[in-house]
Chains A and B, each alone.
Chain A
Amino acid sequence: MDMKSDALQLGTYTFASRLLLGTGKFSDTETMVQAIAASGAQLVTVALRRFNRERPSDDLFGPLSRLPGVTLMPNTSGARDANEAVRAARLARELSGSPFIKVEIHPNPQHLLPDAVETLAAAKILAAEGFLVMPYIPADPVLAKRLEDVGCVSVMPLGAPIGSGQGLDTAAMLRLIVAHSRVPVIVDAGLRAPSEAAAALEMGCAAVLVNSAIAAADQPVAMAAAFAQAVQAGRAAYRAGLMPRRAAASATSPLTEFLSP
């Protein structure tokens, strides 16, 4: 397959890789760097945190700058409403120099489900300011269209709650979002197994964003490579076109009667 003609287009940016990686929950920075390299991810999320000279390992700038071809996508995690998310986004852009922002507003730490109302309000403001807005959203086809309309370069519906590893619980809604979206649909959150990433790509999702499934695996670097293969397989299958489902059997061997008396 010609990967150049099948690049992931986000705003004015193109990426060969359809696997996006988060940088949270890794046991150490070196494992994170190796996992990103093994995943082939070119768009990587980071979070804002208060500077603390006692915790220099917090600072991912040095380690991430060692990785060639990686673009940062800061998130607005910690924001509880649109105003806080907008402020976090402006700060993050000042720091990253990247126009990408993952708008993530989840006021309830018990389930971390995104606030659709505040997310739409923040996305509208940030898109108008020239950000390439990637909103983390509930798997709601109506909301997805509203976000597309205000200028988001992608929508990122959840497969299941963040870090839950419950997979593609929202598969039916994801199919509806894919069918009606003009922007790339990226499944963000909830995945556990590479087969789920492959399934997301097979149904026409443009990419997946994975963090816990890799960072919390026994061997994160090996799991990152496994996800990379699954994403490639899923995308290749989508482009090849899956056969239609049938209610009944359809023979693959000739049903001739030479064994009949």
Chain B
Amino acid sequence: MQLLVNGKTLERPEGDTLAGLLVALGADAGRVAVLVNDEVVPQARRAAAALHAGDRVEVLTFAGGG
């Protein structure tokens, strides 16, 4: 299935979870905030959060800023 992850198309297996996607991306689960279709998904709910074709996922971290 196709997802839109941080604005880019990404092919993932059917039944993939948000936690699975983060592992595939190489993201440290405790250091990223995640939105699926504009809704925040807290860390505790990511393992059970199934992804579906067409989902828009944003994975965010902290960078320098004033």
Contact = CB atoms under 8 A, between A and B. Distances in A.
A and B associate in one complex: yes
Interface of A: 22-26, 32, 45-53, 58-61, 64, 72, 74-75, 77, 87, 90-92, 94-96, 162-163, 189, 209, 211-212
Contact of A53 (B27, B33, B43, B66): B27
B42 A49 contact: no
Contacts of A60: 62-64
B50 to A, nearest CB: 20
Give 10 nearest A-B pairs by CB, closest first: A47-B65, A22-B66, A211-B66, A49-B63, A95-B33, A51-B59, A23-B64, A46-B62, A91-B33, A24-B64
A199 B25 CA distance: 48
Given A24-B66, A95-B32, A49 B61 contact: yes
A94 B62 contact: no
B11 interface: no
Interface residues of B, number: 22
Nearest to A83: B38
Interface of A is mostly: mixed
Contact of B60 (A25, A51, A189, A209): A51
A47 B40 contact: no
A47 B63 contact: yes
A91 B35 contact: yes
Nearest to B7: A50
Given A46-B63, A46-B65, A51-B25, 11 more contacts: A22-B65, A24-B65, A47-B65, A49-B60, A50-B59, A51-B60, A52-B6, A53-B27, A58-B63, A60-B62, A94-B40
Contacts of A94: 33, 40, 42-43
Interface of B: 6-7, 25-27, 31-33, 35, 38, 40, 42-43, 58-66
Contacts of A211: 66
Contacts of A49: 60-63
A217 to B, nearest CB: 14
Contacts of B25: 51, 53
21 contacts: A22-B64, A25-B64, A47-B62, A47-B64, A47-B65, A48-B65, A50-B6, A50-B59, A58-B61, A58-B63, A59-B31, A60-B62, A60-B63, A61-B31, A77-B65, A87-B35, A91-B40, A91-B60, A95-B32, A95-B61, A163-B66
Given A61-B31, A90-B40, A94-B42, A50 B65 contact: no
Contacts of A58: 61, 63
B59 to A, nearest CB: 4
Given A92-B33, A94-B33, A50 B64 contact: no
Q: Considering residues B25, B33, B58, B59, which has the most beta carbons from chain A within 10 angstroms of its beta carbon?
A: B33
A32 B62 CA distance: 14
Contacts of B60: 48-51, 91, 95
